[in-house]
Amino acid sequence: MYKVFLNDRLIILSTQKDFGKDFTSLPIKKTNLQKILKKVESGKLKNLNLYHKKEEKLLKHLKKKLKTVIAGGGLVINRNGQILFIHRKGRWDLPKGKTEKNETIEESAVREVIEETQVKDLVVKKLIQPTYHIISTNDGYKLKETFWFEMHTKYTGALKPETSEGIEQAVWKDLDGTKAAIEDTYENIKILFPYNFQPIPEDKKVF
């Protein structure tokens, strides 16, 4: 099963033909997705379940119907156990951005985090997971697949938001601040949490 978001509306990709009364269920292979997504975005359709009997084909069919934009982002933890957040368009978010030509997803994730916050000394630890959300463009709906990496840094200093990209704040948040930010963030960011907010143990630090 996959969770995909259009704004804050949930679209499930599953092998179940019936996902409950709160979901409209349609076969992903036969559905005119551009038309259906307009109804979802307008509120004419509630949460959507797109199904196929084979789990491994769900994402393949979605990507056949929607052009995919690949992006990378970071969940950055400093040595005090604080997490790096940005504030943009009225919500808290994590730094991320589109992968450029001749750039790996990991490279784009690091570059975007640095560009959007001016954080320093990033060390990529592992891939957390990809998230999926649908964006509306002049060319129709597209799927944005964002690969999220856990990153560590010894840097605890001042941050500088990339205001040219509409970012108003870049801040470190402790456990309480992170919990509050999660209440005011996007649904695809919420699924990255809960997370370990403890300081990185000395024997695990690589910097």
pLDDT in tens, 57-72: 999 999 999 999 999 9
Token pair recorded at residue 125: 């630890």
The answer on 195 and 96 residing in a single domain is yes
pLDDT at 180 over 90: yes
pLDDT in tens, 82-103: 999 999 999 999 999 999 999 9
The answer on 135 and 182 residing in a single domain is yes
Mean pLDDT taken over the chain: 90
**Domain boundary pick from 65, 80, 106:** 65
The answer on 78 and 171 residing in a single domain is yes
pTM: 0.89
The answer on 158 and 61 residing in a single domain is no
Q: Please give the average per-residue pLDDT across 154-171, as a whole number.
A: 93
pLDDT value, residue 199: 47
pLDDT value, residue 27: 95
Domain presence at residue 207 = no
Q: How confident is the model at residue 18 (pLDDT cuts 50, 70, 90)?
A: confident
pLDDT value, residue 206: 40
Domain containing 80 — which CATH number?
Answer: 3.90.79.10
The answer on 180 and 91 residing in a single domain is yes
Tell me the percentage of the chain whose pLDDT exceeds 70. 93
pLDDT at 55 over 70: yes
State the residue range of the domain holding 131. 67-201
User: Are 36 and 48 spatial neighbours (Cβ–Cβ below 8 Å)?
Assistant: yes
Please state, in angstroms and rounded to a whole number, the distance separating the CA atoms of residues 165 and 61: 32
